[in-house]
Amino acid sequence: MTPAQIAPKEERTLLGVGLMALGVTFMTCIDTSAKWLLLSGVPVVQIVFMRYAVALCLTAGWFLPREGVSVLRSQRPLLQALRSFALLGSTVCNFAALQFLPITMTTTIMFAGPIAVTLLAIPVLGEKVGIRRLAAVCTGFLGVIVVVQPWGAEFDPAVLLSVCAMLSASLYYILTRMIAGAERTSTSQIWSSGIAAAAFLPFAAMHWSWPDAPVAQIVLVMIGVFGGTAHTLATVAHRYADASILAPVVYVQIVEAAVAGILVFGSWPTPWTLLGAAIIAGSSWYIYRRERAAKRAGGG
């Protein structure tokens, strides 16, 4: 990859934070739209297909005229394919869980991703994790247990789908680390959307049921717009601000998910969900800070 293919870093922190916050808002729109469509009777396979097919059209339409067909060529095709399927698996499990669980709960469980990434990085990337980060991991999983409440009579087995979505997303981030510096962001975005859309095209065709209501048709298309826009905004945000500054912004999604749950679905977050969210957010933030400190010190 030539230097000209890498967007230059500019220190415009306020702009970066704003773009990241907007990207997080679009991520909330993805889950909200998916749950609304599922409750309207649209098959999950069709929603997943449209999520990626529309995103593929947007990313290809944006990058191909600017970077040419070379943007389609990957230096690490196997890792790109595995990464794409990990993202697809996360989306499928998350959307399936949204049929049964409040959006606040699924969002909170997904925030345990950095905790799982820390554990996966040990065998996959050979990273060393100190005792303090391991303690934070244990605390974070305690937060997940608080949210899930497996001891309660109201325990819903669908939470296992949400946990699978979180684990699959964590694998996606691990694979993203493995190809970092070897691939253009544009290539990764096109591959992830393209492989997911191609993989689900046959299933979507077999279960295709275009909704009759114009509003549902618009939402079905917009879910792909939300997806493509969210990832693009998050990528661009890192050009203008350090990751350490942008990392806390993603926790705004917990608040946005709670608001969306109340306004769209009339579902209020439980005190257990809010408590678990606070524990997970604190643990994830500590893990992130420890990783930054370890990289600066050259240790674990």
- Number of Cβ within a 10 Å radius of residue 296: 8
Residues 6+ apart with CB under 8 A from 207: 43, 45, 46
Tell me what pLDDT residue 300 has.
45
- For residues 270 and 283, give the distance between their C-alpha atoms in angstroms, rounded to a whole number: 20
- Are the C-beta atoms of 54 and 228 separated by less than 8 Å? yes
- Are the C-beta atoms of 84 and 192 separated by less than 8 Å? yes
Give CA 69 to chain center in angstroms.
27
Tell me what pLDDT residue 188 has.
87
List Cα–Cα distances, 79 to 82, 84, 94, 268, in angstroms: 5, 8, 22, 40
Total-model pTM: 0.82
Give CA 118 to chain center in angstroms.
16
| Averaged pLDDT in 10-residue chunks for the chain of 300 residues | 45 84 93 95 93 93 90 91 94 94 90 80 76 81 82 78 93 83 83 94 86 92 92 80 72 88 90 87 78 62
- Are the C-beta atoms of 208 and 50 separated by less than 8 Å? no
Tell me what pLDDT residue 39 has.
93
